[in-house]
A and B are shown apart, each in its own frame.
Chain A
């Protein structure tokens, strides 16, 4: 019985997809959607003024602020911060301010595409 339809076509390696296009989901971070290059300004923290009220941690839509392991300082995530300034507006101690991204060397994952 000769093959007449699609039996003998093979999908090349670079186009392979899992069945039903079902893929494993990211747990803590999504390495396929790095949004650090969306920001034009980054929040800079003055640790002397910070009271550890955790407002920035609560209000950040991208979970880019968290306490370090010792629980003494706030740590900022440069890979995903989109520069939306919500943390700067919601800090009650005036410990945060916006500074243009080009004043800093590094701190951004350099990408080929917008994400």
Chain B
């Protein structure tokens, strides 16, 4: 019997961790993800969750504790926000290379300076090369489901990779919404217990992370690259199982909204997809053929699916909520992935990017309408005037 609760994304992630039967939780406070650890500490203290709750002395220690626990065969859960993620940066590669499937719950926060609590995806985006699975949630219900699904994907023997389950700080993590709780038996059916292939055990001693010579390096890197290649198939099976057991309707990689006869689409991830749907509805009422495509997994990036889906449109606007200063397109991150995916297609849309929602700013309907104006023109002429538009600032040209 499903139970309907009203809770924010932080509490939803904490309760999902309880349903997933995590065994070791390592915590350190930083706003806005701190609500997750506050709720988990209450559940552990009440006896509702039987787990070790460890308080690290910093985010670097936090992730080290988590993958140390995973090395012993425990299911580990940790998290961070903003500059906490960058403080823990050194530990991301050992966690991924040692193949410890821990989960890190991220509630995005803009990086310092100066000191901004608002949501911006740059904190986790800067770790996209480290070999972790990562994806964004749009609603508290989605972060609840993602927490359970990512463990199943990451702990699969063909994958064995850690995961970032991300949500926008404040927009998803602090504004309450309806969340449907499943039964514990349903979660147990979907998520089997964690079986580490090489746990630390005094009766069978192992060395984790020994010294190697340079010519042994490529083989280890190739192993991890192949694990990432195995992941999309595992994702598809996991999402299909989840939809069947829990009655949801998730599509594994891309979620499309009113794209059947669209001229152009907004391509985005995270919380602002919610506003984008209403904006698309308003634009359609005015006769503008707009659509929206939401990306559910940034890593592994669904290259073939993106190429197949986006090549049907005449123009694509990537809504960037993160920055990549000095990169090839000098704006955000999504445009590089999209352009690379579409490079080989015979029929390519005009692609541009919009810097919107940076620093935690709300992306309003007016901003979506301005984006639509640019994209409608690009759809008609087949080219873009500019690759990067900074919304809300005056363009002198």
* Partner-contacting stretch, out of B50-58, B161-169, B383-391: B383-391
B219 lies within 8 A of chain A by Cβ: no
B395's contact among A4, A8, A21, by CB below 8 Å, is which?
A8
A1-28 contact mask (Cβ, 8 Å, vs B): 1 or 0: 0011110111110000000110000000
**A3/B386 contact (C-beta < 8 A), A20-B113, A21-B114 known:** yes
Q: Closest approach, in angstroms, between the C-beta of A84 and any C-beta of chain B?
A: 24
B393's contact among A4, A5, A9, by CB below 8 Å, is which?
A9
Q: When the two chains form their complex, are residues B388 and A4 in contact, meaning their CB atoms are under 8 A apart?
A: yes
B299-330 contact mask (Cβ, 8 Å, vs A): 1 or 0: 00000000000000000000000000000011
B353-397 contact mask (Cβ, 8 Å, vs A): 1 or 0: 000000000000000000000000000000000111010011111
Instruction: Give the number of residue pairs across the A-B interface with Cβ within 8 Å.
Output: 32
Q: Number of A residues whose C-beta is below 8 Å from B?
A: 11
| Residue of A4, A10, A11 with most chain B CB atoms under a 10 A cut-off | A4
B35 lies within 8 A of chain A by Cβ: no
Q: What class of interface size applies to chain B in its complex with A?
A: 10 to 19
B53-68 contact mask (Cβ, 8 Å, vs A): 1 or 0: 0000000000000000
Q: What is the bound-complex CA distance between A55 and B397, given in angstroms?
A: 64
Q: Closest approach, in angstroms, between the C-beta of B350 and any C-beta of chain A?
A: 13
For the complex, would chain A's binding face be called helix, strand, loop or mixed by DSSP majority?
Answer: loop
Q: Closest approach, in angstroms, between the C-beta of A32 and any C-beta of chain B?
A: 14
CB-defined contacts of A4 to chain B, threshold 8 Å? 386-388
CB-defined contacts of A8 to chain B, threshold 8 Å? 395-397
Q: Closest approach, in angstroms, between the C-beta of B113 and any C-beta of chain A?
A: 5
Q: What is the bound-complex CA distance between A5 and B32, given in angstroms?
A: 32
* Contacting residues of chain B (179-197) with chain A, CB-CB under 8 angstroms: none
Q: When the two chains form their complex, are residues B114 and A9 in contact, meaning their CB atoms are under 8 A apart?
A: no
B140 lies within 8 A of chain A by Cβ: no
Q: For residue A3, which residue of chain B has the nearest CB?
A: B397
* Contacting residues of chain A (4-62) with chain B, CB-CB under 8 angstroms: 4-6, 8-12, 20-21
Q: Which B residues fall within an 8 A CB radius of A?
A: 113-114, 329-331, 386-388, 390, 393-397
Q: Which A residues fall within an 8 A CB radius of B?
A: 3-6, 8-12, 20-21
Besides A4-B388, A6-B388, A11-B393, 15 more A-B contacts (Cβ < 8 Å) are A3-B386, A5-B330, A5-B331, A5-B386, A5-B387, A5-B388, A6-B330, A8-B395, A8-B396, A8-B397, A9-B390, A9-B395, A10-B396, A12-B393, A12-B394
